[in-house]
Chain A
Amino acid sequence: MTEYLVRFLVGGVVVSAFAMLGDVIRPKSFAGLFGAAPSVALATLGIAIYQHGTGYAALQSQTMMAGAIALAVYCVVVCQLLVRAGLRALPATMISLVVWLLVAFGLFAFAGGQG
């Protein structure tokens, strides 16, 4: 229970810090870089090293690469849905999560990954 409370607090602080940094930076396209900041990764990998060691965190960061490629595809799809399909931000970002899941797990399977 304590572990998850620590995860929640550390994750909340790191994510909020990056999000606020994105809020105060202009132009908006540059601030968008902070929308893909490795905030959850920084919090999680730190806890992973403390709990399970560096090998575990290295394995997590290895498959994180597939997640990051999926994130790039996801952002492009969100952009297209907003500009071309004229969807609002919430439906566009939620629908595109399917794309993220498909690309992330597709790359994971393609690389022959095992859980």
Chain B
Amino acid sequence: MTPVRFSPSSLKEGRWYEYLIRFALGGGATVFTGLISSRYGASIGGLFLALPAIFCASATLIEKHEIRRKREAGLDGTRRGREAAALDAAGAALGALGMLTFAAVFWLAAESSTPAAFIGASLAWLVVSMAAWYGRRKMRSARTADKAGGSAVSRSRRG
């Protein structure tokens, strides 16, 4: 199983304007949510707290970086770029389960204690997201091991 690690050098791959775009998108999404809430009410505004506006930019940047890296190595990189963005999307799907837990914990705790709601909801997001990711990895490794074991058995029977 691939261990989780930090790769600070990845930050050098980004251009300054890419960080600026993400800052503007993040700010824009927060302003947009505020406008929706004040125009249509807190319930509708709440839906937009999970709007994947930032994800569009992140996935596009990941694809772009991967293509750039492959082209520097003399390869096309289009397929690899798509695969990198797809991996990011698969991770985000698991992160969305964490976000669901974040919302549930915040909803339950908000009226009793504000700091507890923020800390509890953030921890719940982290724990559930990581647990979902590790669970998926375990299942995938078990499936791969089963397949490898199955083909070894059939090979030995044939032999």
Contacts and interface: CB of A to CB of B under 8 A. Distances in A.
Contacts of B56: 90, 93-94, 97
Chain A at the B interface: SS class: helix
Interface in A5-26: 7-16, 19-20, 22-26
A62 B95 CA distance: 18
B111 A64 contact: no
Interface size class of B (residues with CB under 8 A): 35 or more
Interface in B88-103: 88-100, 102-103
Contacts of B118: 42, 45-46
Contact of B99 (A3, A16, A30, A71): A71
B145 interface: no
Interface string A51-75: 0101111111111111111111011
A76 B122 CA distance: 23
Given A89-B63, A114-B43, A115-B44, A69 B100 contact: yes
B122 A42 contact: yes
B30 interface: yes
Contact of B54 (A19, A32, A70): A19
Given A15-B25, A33-B95, A88-B82, A63 B54 contact: no
Given A83-B86, A115-B40, A12 B54 contact: no
A39 B56 CA distance: 15
Given A49-B114, A61-B103, A114-B43, A28 B88 contact: yes
B115 to A, nearest CB: 11
A62 B98 contact: no
20 contacts: A7-B27, A8-B27, A11-B28, A11-B30, A19-B54, A20-B11, A23-B11, A26-B10, A38-B99, A40-B33, A44-B34, A44-B49, A46-B118, A48-B42, A63-B44, A63-B45, A65-B100, A68-B96, A74-B52, A114-B43
